[in-house]
Amino acid sequence: MYAYPIAIRHLFISPGHNYFGHPKGQPGVHPTFDVDQVTVRSGHGLVGDRFFGKGERFDGHVTFVAWEVFDLLRIELSANGVTPAALRRNVIVEGVALNALIGHEFAIDGVRFRGAKHCAPCDWMENQLAPGALRFLRGRGGLRAQALSDGVLRRGPATLTADVILDPTTVTEPLPLPRLP
């Protein structure tokens, strides 16, 4: 098992969907709350969030995105006024190569998760972030994860443990495109 010092920069929850099921150009108006801590329930997700209780097998109880990816997006797309809440991911972490956690169990301060798959960006990113955001986020839009234990995540310094070696120099690298015959 390997331990990595990380930082939780933001914890976001929202009671409803602003993009799913909404016509293009007309996002929902559910508030997004940037909280100091959030309760995680095994098989359910984050208490108070729109994805809470979608079923034990649901692969997106919690969504993560790297602070470094968000910061690079702001620089490359000249989107200085954009906040990380616009990404609609739950946990904004710093110092974690999230793509390397796909298919692996990991824990943050003892709260266990399973990295399920890449959190693909949607067309809304062009509207909510900046032109070019959808293309920029392909392969680095974050991580969808299942909650495997109860606990509390808190904003600030944290420790991530995993059975995989994480290379901090690859945090902003996108997943490679599949090579088809």
Question: Cα(25)–Cα(18) distance, rounded to whole angstroms?
Answer: 11
Question: Cα(129)–Cα(81) distance, rounded to whole angstroms?
Answer: 9
Contact (Cβ atoms closer than 8 angstroms) between residue 128 and residue 24: no
pLDDT tens-digit readout, 55-92: 888 888 999 999 999 999 999 999 988 999 988 899 99
Domains of the chain (ranges, CATH numbers): 2-15+32-162 (2.40.33.20)
pLDDT tens-digit readout, 149-180: 999 999 999 999 999 999 999 999 999 876 54
Contact (Cβ atoms closer than 8 angstroms) between residue 8 and residue 154: yes
Give me the pLDDT at residue 17, please. Answer: 56
Tokens of 61: 């109880």
Give me the pLDDT at residue 180, please. Answer: 47
Three-state DSSP class for 119? coil
Cα–Cα nearest to 93, from 150, 145, 32: 145
Alpha helices in the chain (DSSP H): 67-76, 124-128, 133-137
Give me the pLDDT at residue 179, please. Answer: 57
